[in-house]
Chains A and B, each alone.
Chain A
Amino acid sequence: DVKVTQSSRYLVKRTGEKVFLECVQDMDHENMFWYRQDPGLGLRLIYFSYDVKMKEKGDIPEGYSVSREKKERFSLILESASTNQTSMYLCASSPPSGTEAFFGQGTRLTVV
């Protein structure tokens, strides 16, 4: 059974903290993605990576950075958390063909 695993289901962090969200996939996929989901706004792409150490900005990269040191792991970093980054964060992976993205269970982040 294919799997994308996010390190936390729920997180509560304070404003100004540096936050790390981790994602691991076991499908040997080249592509990995970070999205955030907000009511009425759907899934918005933050960053994606198509290879180790490669990254591309998505639609809303401001306030975020990413790291991909190994093929199976893609980390999202909130450099200085703010309350407007309270959201559901979703990690996904896909093969290069673009025929399906597999999602993790999501991390509900609350910044107080």
Chain B
Amino acid sequence: DQQVKQNSPSLSVQEGRISILNCDYTNSMFDYFLWYKKYPAEGPTFLISISSIKDKNEDGRFTVFLNKSAKHLSLHIVPSQPGDSAVYFCAASSLTGNQFYFGTGTSLTVIP
């Protein structure tokens, strides 16, 4: 059973606008959440993360929001750039565990 879900397989956004990628999880034991970016034929690269003790973390153009009560997190990219076009994976882990649980990914296309 998928414990981390990304319900939007794809998203298209105009350059300069905001991209919002969503992620839901089911396991309340998760206490750390990560976003990865993946280009074709390359491995995923870490983008940004958030601990469950926070509700927001910001790094430049990227902000992750966490709503624990709704078991929902989102990644905001502002402003979106063509180089942001990639597949984005949401992941969750327990700091006392060994595993990372990944969503199915959202393919973002930023249109120039």
B105 touches A98 (CB 8 A): no
CA distance A49 to B42 in the complex (A): 23
Interface size class of B (residues with CB under 8 A): 20 to 34
Name the CB-closest residue of A to B6.
Answer: A42
| Known contacts A48-B98, A98-B94, A98-B100; A4/B9 CB under 8 A | no
B98 touches A96 (CB 8 A): yes
CA distance A43 to B49 in the complex (A): 18
A42 touches B100 (CB 8 A): no
A98 touches B89 (CB 8 A): no
| Known contacts A42-B89, A101-B91; A94/B100 CB under 8 A | yes
Pick the residue among A40, A42, A104 that contacts B102 (CB under 8 A): A42
CA distance A45 to B32 in the complex (A): 18
Interface string of B85-109 (1 = CB under 8 A from A): 0000101011111111011110000
B45 touches A103 (CB 8 A): yes
Cβ–Cβ < 8 Å partners of B103 in chain A: 42
Interface of chain A residues 57 through 112 with chain B (CB within 8 A): 58, 90, 92, 94, 96-106, 108
A42 touches B104 (CB 8 A): yes
B77 at the interface (CB under 8 A from A): no
Write the nearest CB–CB distance from B72 to chain A, whole angstroms: 18
| Known contacts A97-B95, A98-B94; A33/B100 CB under 8 A | yes
Pick the residue among B46, B49, B99 that contacts A102 (CB under 8 A): B46
B95 touches A99 (CB 8 A): yes
Cβ–Cβ < 8 Å partners of B43 in chain A: 4, 90, 92, 103-106
Write the nearest CB–CB distance from B35 to chain A, whole angstroms: 11
Pick the residue among A98, A99, A103, A105 that contacts B98 (CB under 8 A): A98
Write the nearest CB–CB distance from A30 to chain B, whole angstroms: 8
Q: Show 11 residue pairs from A and B whose CB-CB distance is below 8 angstroms, ordered by the A residue.
A: A9-B41, A33-B99, A98-B32, A98-B93, A98-B95, A99-B32, A101-B34, A101-B46, A101-B100, A103-B36, A103-B43
